[in-house]
Structure 1
Amino acid sequence: MAAIEARLAELGIDLPDVVPPVAAYTPAVIDAGRVYTSGQLPMVSGALPATGKVGDGHGLVPADDAKEYARICALNALAAVKSVIGSLDRVTRVVKVVGFVASDPSFTGQPGVINGASEVLGEIFGDAGVHARSAVGVSVLPLDAPVELELIVAYE
């Protein structure tokens, strides 16, 4: 068993299938030793687990739930990476994470939400999972998703 697959099994993580595009794009492309993923939503079995804005009030997606959705986005992004390079063992570094959080105007906890992605990447890749990152609050995301994530990874 490959090292990353073994690590995923040890963590109890099943890498999902690649989420099919919802518009005119491809889930991931390769250029100059890097894989760039398209924005990945927290799709589970073809559906979003929640929709709407993240925040602390009634009718909003709680930040703790959104953090879990960011983790799902990261796993979906890794599935896209694997689809173009064949094995996650080829990843030498997670270079950059860009996270978008559909935010209630009063919500300022975007970094904590995107920690869901950063933490799982660290668990999977160790030091190679430490990355540069942006966590951006936006007014709305595709399909009314609460979170969206892009990855850039280096591979050999």
Structure 2
Amino acid sequence: MSRLKGMKTWGLTALALLILGGWMLAVSGFFATETSRSGSGEPQPDSLEAIEVEYETVLNQDIQAATQVHLPADIQSWLEQNGKTEYQGLKQADGGTYILIARGESASSGYGIEPVRVQAQGHKLIVEAVYTDPKPGDMYLTVITYPVLLLKVEGKYEEAEFHVSEPSA
């Protein structure tokens, strides 16, 4: 009889441990899911969808025209430092984020850069643009130019991913 009582006790203990273990796994899975969802309160970059962002085209021509546009002093300086080489970058100023794409030196006035779209994914911008080349048969000034595209978006963004395409043939 005592052996049967010992087996019942062991069986009840095992069953209690099994139920307790299952409950602990379920609860820990729930809290792990909650933690990964909330994390630090910030959205996880991989789970964010890119959304379209409105932008203002501040400058879309040769860098020499930058003197005709009213810009904050730090943006003007940044543009002058980077506008004559191939460059892609961001700078915050004036309550927003400026986006600069510079093509570098070009042999005539027919070269340029056209914006396609700007999207935001968390604190990162995704900027799409396309280089434009002179159209065959059209006449252009044969002068050294430095095509730049300067855009401004509202909000502060820390990083950007640039997708600049070559002109289609």
Q: TM-score range by the shorter chain?
A: under 0.3
Higher strand share: 2
- TM-score scaled to structure 1, two decimals? 0.28
Task: Kindly indicate whether structure 1 or structure 2 has the higher relative contact order, using CA contacts under 8 Å at least 6 residues apart.
Answer: 1
Higher helix share: 1
- Highest CA radius of gyration, 1 or 2? 2
